Amino acid sequence: MHAIGVDLGGTKTAAGVVSDTGEVLFSETIPTLNRDGGEAILDATAALVAGLMGRAAAAGIAVDHVGIGSAGVIDARKGEVVSATDAILGWAGTAISAGLAARLDLPPGSIRAVNDVHAHALGEAWTGAAAGTASSLLVAFGTGVGGSYIHEGTPFLGHRYVGGHVGHFASPYACYDDRPLPCVCGGAGHVEAIASGPAIAEAYRRLGGEAGSPDSRGVFALAAHGDATAIRTIGTAAAAAGQAVAGLANILDPEVVVVSGGLSDAGAPWWRPLEDAVRAELLPALANIPVLPASLGNAAAIIGAAKLVLTDSLTFRRNRP
């Protein structure tokens, strides 16, 4: 059996044909039409999927199921976007599953959708860094901070499908001049306000760093050349990230922790203070919990999204009367 997994993000949409062993046979990527509204995005995504179905058919592979990992809060039962940021204009309220099913002439039940970080975590739990474990916590640090807790192959979605928004709880690091730092969610003092990529760039400027307004990659480059402010900025962000990861591990007690996202590729200057903070914060019983880098790279969400329809990977709450 094969399925198509789709990773629909704010800047690009990637999709691939995935086997029942989690192998991506071939894939394609297109820009996300993030200024054009939900219907235009569905049109482009359907064309992407249809093209992959055609390639599969030419190779003698039948594909009639599609899984989607999408940015935003996703009602996984209905396959609809509950809410989304302005990174994708007009995405909130979009009926992903029904819209794609109609465009691809597939039965509604053949298409399922979850938040993209849940899809990422499912992929890592299936064939990646957490493969073979009964439970795993994935936390991703990049443009934002997100996460997912996988137990027995199922992500915890939450009663309102907001489970996994781990960037939005308080961090003692997220303050400056005794004031909590503003967060993109509208709150203040949250993990994402200090530990995300944009937060690193903003902190570097706030601390009087070198002129030129570098992004987070620029800050890491400056740190590699000995810039003391850049080194301090990265260390603080990584410590905040590590404290948050450990706090979540103390609550959930996963078999393994997987750390992902663009910042996880930064190497020792970020990983070392992160791991130090994790170990300092963990409860004694969790002292030896593995904290591993994600291993599937950009394929993780494609693989995890495909798993949604290759196996029964979702558990829904009961409807209340």
Q: Domain holding 219: CATH number? A: 3.30.420.40
pTM metric for this prediction: 0.94
Give the model's pLDDT for residue 320: 42
Question: How far from chain centre, in Å, is Cα 138?
Answer: 9
Mean pLDDT of the chain: 95
116 and 142 co-located in one domain: no
Same-domain status, 175 and 63: no
Domain-embedded: residue 212: yes
Whether residue 72 is found in the same domain as residue 154: no
pLDDT at 251: 98
Residue 113 included in any domain: yes
* DSSP H helices in the chain: 38-58, 96-104, 116-127, 192-195, 197-206, 216-224, 228-252, 268-281, 300-310
Regarding whether 190 and 45 lie in a shared domain, the answer is: no
Domain assignment present for 172? yes
Cβ burial of 226 (10 Å; 0-12, 13-18, 19+) is exposed
Q: Is the same domain home to 247 and 233?
A: yes
If asked whether residues 23 and 148 sit together in one domain, one would say no
DSSP 66: E
Q: Are 124 and 294 a contacting pair, CB within 8 Å?
A: yes
Domain identity same for 141 and 79: no
Q: How confident is the model at residue 213 (pLDDT cuts 50, 70, 90)?
A: confident
Determine the angle formed by the axes of helices 228-252 and 216-224, rounding to 10 degrees. 120
* Number of domains forming the structure of the chain: 2
Residues 261 and 144 in one domain: yes
pLDDT interval class at 314 (50, 70, 90): confident
Mean pLDDT value of segment 96-103: 98
User: How confident is the model at residue 96, as a pLDDT?
Assistant: 98
Mean pLDDT is lowest, of 6-15, 149-158, 312-321, for 312-321
- pLDDT per position as a tens digit, 21-44: 999 999 999 999 999 999 999 999
Q: Which of 70-79, 102-111, 312-321 has the lowest mean pLDDT?
A: 312-321
Q: State the pLDDT at residue 312.
A: 75
Predicted pLDDT at 317:
52
Question: 152 and 117, same structural domain?
Answer: no
Same domain, 156 and 289: yes
- Expressed as residue numbers, the domain containing 111 is 2-121+299-310
* Same domain, residue pair 34 and 140: no
d(CA 155, CA 152): 8
Those residues whose C-beta lies under 8 Å from the C-beta of residue 157, and which sit 6 or more positions away, are 76, 114, 118, 163, 164, 314, 316
Q: State CA 225 to chain mean position distance.
A: 30
- In this prediction, residue 210 has a pLDDT band, given cuts at 50, 70 and 90, of confident
Is residue 164 located within the same domain as residue 274? yes
